[in-house]
Amino acid sequence: MLGAADIRSIAAALGVRPTKQRGQNFVIDANTVRRIVRAAGVGPADVVVEVGPGLGSLTLGLLEVADRVTAVEIDPLLARHLPTTVTARMPDRAPRFALVEADAMAVTELPGPPPTALVANLPYNVAVPVLLHMLETFPSIERTLVMVQSEVADRLAAAPGNKVYGVPSVKANWYAEVKRAGAIGRNVFWPAPNVDSGLVSLVRHDPPETTATRQEVFAVVDAAFAQRRKTLRAALAGWAGSPAAAERALTAAGIDYTLRGETLTVEQFARIAEARPEGSGGTAE
């Protein structure tokens, strides 16, 4: 395991200075790493993909218990050095480690067996799109544990009717059962961020049974929350072609058109997508 002194020593040797642009806040507390690995439920049969491994704190913790770990790192300097750290610290496990130097949002395949788990300290500025991209691209991922900004964790895990329930909540729920898995303080990072962090657990489930595509359902979600204070009749007017057409689609879906998007489940959004008027609306990624 890497402690605070190890992290700073490696960073100094590489000339690494964490950047806000890439959301780099390195975990320097070994107990926090162990806690994350335990909360992820990773075991000896798991193939783990880690996004944003940084200097390797979590990577080493995962390698202790998982069958294999593949790390996706966008920073060329960090990517080049991480295999060296793994080999030096855990030579017997090094053959079970792979490194992909890439933007996680552009990754469509990984070396080795399909991943069964995603565990990551996600950069705060891209956490939600990276999470959704990985879940969509790799359906073999059964369990996910991500560390994100506390506010983002709340949004991801929010239930309908909650004031922070929104697009991330609904889209994450398309793929998985989502819940908060704990809070993380600021002092376990270097440099310490200006916000608190939270752990989010996602356990894969089947998407809603619907004749609509995921893109069609997500288009309704995006439209509903683009004007979240408006009723669904008004918010979905552009998607449906007119307020009257939105009302008809909502009625056909069995949804009260005076409600707001923040009260609907992902299953209800899917029903609305099925009722979209011909020749109107669009799709979302």
What secondary structure letter does DSSP report for 54? T
pLDDT computed for residue 146 by the predictor: 98
Token digits of residue 21: 């642009």
Question: Looking at residue 283, what is its pLDDT?
Answer: 58
Give 75-89 pLDDT, tens digit per residue: 999 999 999 999 999
Which of 154, 162, 165 has its CA nearest to residue 224? 165
pTM of the model: 0.91
Please, are residues 60 and 90 in contact by the beta-carbon 8 Å criterion? yes
Query: Going by DSSP bridges, is the β-strand pair 97-101/117-121 parallel, antiparallel, or unpaired?
Result: unpaired
Helices 167-175 and 266-274 pack at an angle, to 10 degrees, of: 90
Distances in Å between the Cα of 164 and the Cα atoms of 152, 167, 181, 196, 257 are: 9, 10, 17, 17, 21
Give the pLDDT confidence of 16-39 residue by residue, as tens digits: 776 655 556 888 899 999 999 999
pLDDT in tens, 130-178: 999 999 999 999 999 999 999 999 999 999 999 999 999 999 999 999 9
- Which residues contact residue 264 at a Cβ distance below 8 angstroms, ignoring those fewer than 6 apart? 160, 170, 224, 232, 255, 272
Determine the pLDDT at residue 21. Answer: 53
- The token pair at 95 is 């053959």
